[in-house]
Amino acid sequence: MAAKQCVYPPTQEEPSDVYPPPQSSSDVYPPPTSKIQALFARGTDPEIIRAFEAYDEDGNGSIDDEELQKALSTADLSYSIRTVRLLMFKFNNINCTRIGPKEFTTLWHDLQAWRSIFEKFDRDRSGTIDNMELRDALRQLGCAVPQPVLQLLLTKYDRTGEDIGIDYDSFIECGLIVKGLTQKFKEKDKRRTGTATLTYEEFMLTVLPFIVA
């Protein structure tokens, strides 16, 4: 193998289609300060790369749960550390409180999807999700949740305690848990009957990661 083609990160002599492009011009953005850019898949939206670099406050090349929580939260919208950890939970093949560029790209798209589901099903534009809106949103996620379960979710996630509905942060948490647990249950319901047999150990191992996220 020609040694030149294995050089990492690419140098100015590399062909012009290497990513990131050789930064010969001072107006290239993002500025030529980070090797992080090279770790993203080719064609990644530059906005995602810029966000990663901004979120990675300590500059260690990964985003931890606290960095993500701080970066996502704005004056109008706060994310609980629990929601942030649940968002990271899907990457549980690695340390799920720390993600790199690849996982961050997936998470970025996940957040866009959550936002669009929330906006689609908050039909009255109240900024919260009520009973019927939740039912339909969960159905879109593939979960036909029975009414008593819906009521329990609303009771638990309506933080106001005044039947106003579920806010955006809680909606993501609720959706991640319902979708995740439904998926786990489905894996045990091989014949798709709506019934499954789980041992005590399986039940505990399934449910606990969602509770202690």
Q: Which residues bind Ca ion (CB under 5 A)?
A: 56, 58, 60, 122, 124, 126
Q: At what angle do helices 65-72 and 46-55 cross, to 10 degrees?
A: 110
List, as one string, the DSSP characters of 103-150. HHHHHHHHHHHHHHHHHHH-TT--SSB-HHHHHHHHHHTT----HHHH
Residue 56 or 169: the one with the smaller Cβ distance to Ca ion is 56
Q: d(Cα 97, Cα 68) in Å, to the nearest integer?
A: 10
- Which residue, judged by CB position, is nearest to Ca ion in the bound state? 126
CA distance 88 to 85: 5
Q: Residue 199 and residue 32: Cα distance in Å, rounded?
A: 54
Min separation Cβ 98 and Ca ion, Å = 8
Decide: 209 and 86 in contact? Cβ < 8 Å: no
Nearer to Ca ion, 137 or 176 (CB): 137
Please tell me the distance from the alpha carbon of residue 24 to that of residue 129, in angstroms, as a whole number. 50
- Three-state secondary structure call for residue 202: helix
Residue type (1 letter), 62: S
Helices (H) and strands (E) in the chain, counts: 8, 2
Shortest distance in whole angstroms from residue 134 CB to Ca ion: 9
Closer CB to Ca ion, residue 79 or residue 184? 79
- 90 three-class SS: coil
Closest to Ca ion by CB, 99 or 176:
99
CB of 124 to Ca ion, least distance (A): 5
Nearest to Ca ion of 131, 206 (CB atom): 131
Residue 45 vs 58, nearer CB to Ca ion: 58
